[in-house]
Structure 1
Amino acid sequence: MKLKSTLGAAVAAAALTSTPALAQDRTLTISVYAFAQEEFRELVYEPFEEKCGCDLVVETGNSVERMSKIEANRENPVIDMAVMSLHDALSLSRQDLLQKIDTSKLSNHGDLFDVAKDPLGNGEAVGYTLYATSIVYRTDKVEIASWKDLFQDKLKGRVALPDITTNQGARTLWMIGKAIGDEDMSLKAPMELVGENADDIATFYQRSSQLAQLVQQDEVWAAPVGRFAWSRFKDNGLDMTWAEPAEGQFGDMNVMIMPKGIPAENAELALEFMDYWLSPEIQLALAEALIDSPVNKTVEVSAEAAEGLTVGAELIDSLNFMAPEVILDNRDQWLDSWNDTVIQ
C-alpha cells in the first residue's frame, strides 16, 4: 500500500505493507490543505489505508489552486473528495460541481454538532472542524470587553487588525459593526470607523505568525486572532488573555465535499473515508495534537488541549457564523470599499 502526497510540484511516496491486490483496485484521491500533513499522515491517512486496504493519493495546495483543479476537470473529475472553507464549497456548488453526500452512510453523522451536519443547507457538504475568533490582548496594558474597545485611546498605535483579504477580515468588521449598532452587510459603518483610525492601527496583518512577532516585540497589544493560533500568544511570556466580548466571538468552519461525476466505487470509498475522519477516535486524535477542533460532540478532549481549541456545545452554539453566501456575494465590493476607505 502506498501513500502519495503532492505539495506544489513535489510528489513523495511512502511505502506501506498490506494486500497489494486490494490496494491496486481501490484508490481514493483527496485534496486537502498543506497544513500539518506529517501529522495527518500518521493519525489519519496511514491508519485508514490499513483499515480499508486501499491507496490514498493526497494532493495539497492553496485554496485557489485546489478549487481550480476541480473546476478545470468538471467533465472528468480527478479529485474524489476535498476539504475546504464553507464559502469555497458554496462557490463550487453554485457551479453545479458538487454532489449530495449520502449521510445515511456516515455512521457518525448523527453525533455531529447541528451546525456541521448540513452547513450549505443543500446536502452537499459536511463540517469536519471549526474554530472561534476573538481578541487576544495584554491584560497589563488594556481591558477588552467589546469589539469597539479595539479603538480605545490606550491602543492607539498598538492594535492590529486582519487584512480584508484574510478569512478573519470581513468577519472582524462584522463584529465591530455589531458593537457600534450597525449590522448592514455592506460593512460600510465599521469600515469607515477603521478608516478614520487607520493611522492609529499598527498593521493590517495577513498571517498570525507575523502578528505573533509584533506582539512579542511589544509593538501590538491587542488583535483579533483565530483560536487555532492562540498557542502562539498564550505561552509567549507576556500577560495575554483571550477576550469574551459582549457581542460574542465569530466562528468559521471547514467542510468535506465530493465533486460531481466521480465513479460510484470512488464515491463509496470517499464516504468511508469521511466517516472515518468524523469518528470520535480520529477527531480526538487530531484535537489532542492541536490540529483541528472536533465537530463530533461525543469527543472529550483533555483540559490542556482544550486551551488551544474551540470545544464545548455552549461555546459552539454561541458563535456568530457569517453565511457563506454573504461572503461570496459581497467580497468584491468589500475589497473595493476597503481600498477606497482604509487603504488611501
Structure 2
Amino acid sequence: MLRRTLAAGVALCAFTAPALAADDKLVISVYGFGQDAFKEIVYDPFEKICGCELVVETGNSVERLAKLEARKDDPEIDMAVMSTHDALSAARKGITQSIDVTKLSNFDKLYDIAKDPLGDHLGIGYTFYATSIAYRADKVKIESWSDLFQDDLKGRVAFPNVTTNQGPPALYMLGKAMGDDAPSLSAPIAEVGANKDDILTFYVRSSQVAQLMQQEEILAAPIGRFAWGAYPKMDMNIAWATPKEGQTGGMNVMILTKGAKHEDLAYQFMDYWLSTEIQTKLAEALVDSPANADVKVSDEVAENLTYGEETVKNLHLLPPAVILDNRETWLAEWNDKVGQ
C-alpha cells in the first residue's frame, strides 16, 4: 500500500473542480503493475490538484475483489480498476454502482467500446490491449491462429494457461480459425489437447514467455500487447502477427463502489485519469494504451501500444458475461483435455 499526503491549499489547475478540504482522502484499488510511473504521472499531480490524501492499494485481482466484497456494506475503497469480467462479477455481487457519466467531462472523448462495456455504466474503460502472436519471423510464418500448430513449431511454442487473462481470448481466436467460435471453447480446447505434446509450456506469466523467447527455446506464443515492449529489445527478428482472423484482447475499467465515502473526489480522479493529457503521458511511458481517442503519439510509441481507431475497431473482445459465465466450464474442459 502506498500512502502519500500533500498539504492543503495547493493551487488548483483550471481543469478540475474546486479543491477539497485537506482532511479528505480518496482510496483506490489498482493493479501492482507500473506503480512508479502511475505515481509520477497520475497520483502525485492529482494530489496537488485536489489538496487531498490519495491512498493507493495494490494487489492481484482475486485479493482486491475479495476485499471489496468483504467490505461492501461499509466500503473502505472508493473506486477501483479491474478487468471487465472482474468488474461485472463485482457488480453482480452488489459491490458497485452505476457511474454518472455526465460528471465526466472526458467521457465523450473515449472510444465507443470503452464507454459502456458492462452495460448500465457499471464500468468505464480506461485502457485496453490487443492479444496476438509474437513470433520469430526469420524462422516461421504466422498468418492464422491455427499456424501455432504447424510442423515448424512443434515443441517450440508456448500457450497461455486457461486460467490466465490471455488464455480464453487466445482459445477464442483459435476457435475462429477452426470455424467454431462457440462460447464453450470446446473445439479449441480439444485442439490444444490434441497438440499438447508439441507445446513446450502452458505459461501463467508473460515474463516466462519473454525469457523463453530470449533463450530461443520457443519461436512463437500468444501474448498481450502490454508485454510487447520487451521483444523489440531482443537481438532477434521478432514480429507481431496480424492473423487473418484478427486480434483479440482485453479491457480494464474503472468502477465506483456502492456507498463510496468520497464519491465526488472519485469522479474528479476518474475524469483526470481519462483526460487527454494524462492518457497521453501514460501512453508515452508505455504504461497503458489510451482509451481516449484524442490521444496522439509518435509512430515509435504507437508500435508498442494498442493504438488507433482502426486497431480498436478490429479487436475481437470476449464479452465479460461470456467469460464470467463460462470460466468454470472452461477450466473443467481444460483439465479434462489438456491437464496440468
Question: Into which bin does the TM-score normalised by the smaller protein fall?
Answer: over 0.9
Q: 1:170 Cα shift?
A: 1.1
Tell me, in whole angstroms, the C-alpha distance in 2 between the residues paired with 1:198 and 1:158: 12
Aligned to 2:115: 117
Deviation of the 1:24 alpha carbon: 3.3
Aligned to 1:31: 29
Deviation, structure 1 residue 301: 1.1
How far does residue 96 in structure 1 lie from its aligned partner after superposition? 1.8
Residue in 1 aligned with 2:148? Answer: 150
- Which of 42, 54, 57 aligns to 1:56? It is 54
Identify the residue that residue 166 of structure 1 maps to in structure 2. 164
Secondary structure of the residue that 1:140 maps to in structure 2? coil
Asked if 1 retains the 8 angstrom alpha-carbon contact of 2:293 and 2:309, the reply is yes
Runs of at least 5 residues in structure 2 that lack an aligned partner in the other structure: 11-18
Partner of 2:268: 272
* Cα gap change, 1:110 to 1:172, in 2 (>3 Å): same
Deviation at residue 54 of structure 1 after TM alignment: 1.2
Give 1:195's match in structure 2, choosing from 193, 196, 199.
Answer: 193
Alpha-carbon separation, structure 2, partners of 1:117 and 1:13: 30
How many residue pairs get aligned? The number is 332
CA deviations 1:267-296 (Å, max 9, x no partner) are: 111001000000000000000000000010
**Conserved? CA contact 2:5–2:53, under 8 Å:** no
**1:45 corresponds to which residue?**
43
Match of 2:9 in 1: 19
Q: How far apart in 2 are the matches of 1:330 and 1:296?
A: 30
Q: Supply the AA of the counterpart residue of 1:197.
A: N
Distance 2:5 2:245 in 1: 51
- The secondary structure found in structure 2 opposite 1:115 is helix
* 1: CA distance, partners of 2:244 / 2:194: 23
Distance 1:22 1:97, change over 3 A: closer
Aligned 8 A contact 2:129 2:306 in 1? yes
Q: Given that residues 23 and 55 in structure 1 are in contact (C-alpha distance below 8 angstroms), is that contact kept between their aligned partners in structure 2?
A: no
Counterparts in 2 of 1:261-340, with a 5 A limit? 261-263=259-261, 266-340=262-336
CA drift at 1:168: 0.7
When normalised by structure 1's length, the TM-score is 0.94
- List per-residue Cα deviations over 1:196-219 (Å, max 9, x = no partner): 111110111111111111111111
Code of the residue aligned with 2:117 in structure 1: it is P
Counterparts of 2:331 and 2:37, CA distance in 1: 35
Per the alignment, residue 241 of structure 1 pairs with: 239
Separation (CA, whole Å) in 1 of partners of 2:21 and 2:278: 22
Range with bigger deviation, 16-25 or 43-52: 16-25
1:57-76, aligned counterparts within 5 Å?
Answer: 57-76=55-74
Matching residue within 79, 82, 89 for 2:80: 82
Aligned CA RMSD, in angstroms, stands at 1.4
1:92-118 superposed Cα distances (whole Å, 9 cap, x missing partner): 111122111110010000010000011
Shift in Å, 1:251: 2.1
Find the aligned partners of 2:220 and 2:177 in 1 and give their Cα distance: 17
Give 1:343 shift.
1.3
Of 87, 94, 97 in structure 1, the residue corresponding to residue 95 of structure 2 is 97
Q: CA deviation at 1:22?
A: 5.2
Could you tell me the TM-score, scaled by structure 2's length?
Answer: 0.95
Specify every segment of 5 or more residues in structure 1 that has no aligned partner in the other structure, as ranges: 1-5, 7-11
Counterpart of 2:129 in 1: which secondary structure? strand
Quick check: 266-275 or 22-31, which moved more? 22-31
Deviation at 1:193, TM superposition (A): 0.9
Question: Which of 183, 186, 190 lines up with 1:185 in the alignment?
Answer: 183
8 Å CA contact 1:178, 1:247 repeated in 2 = yes
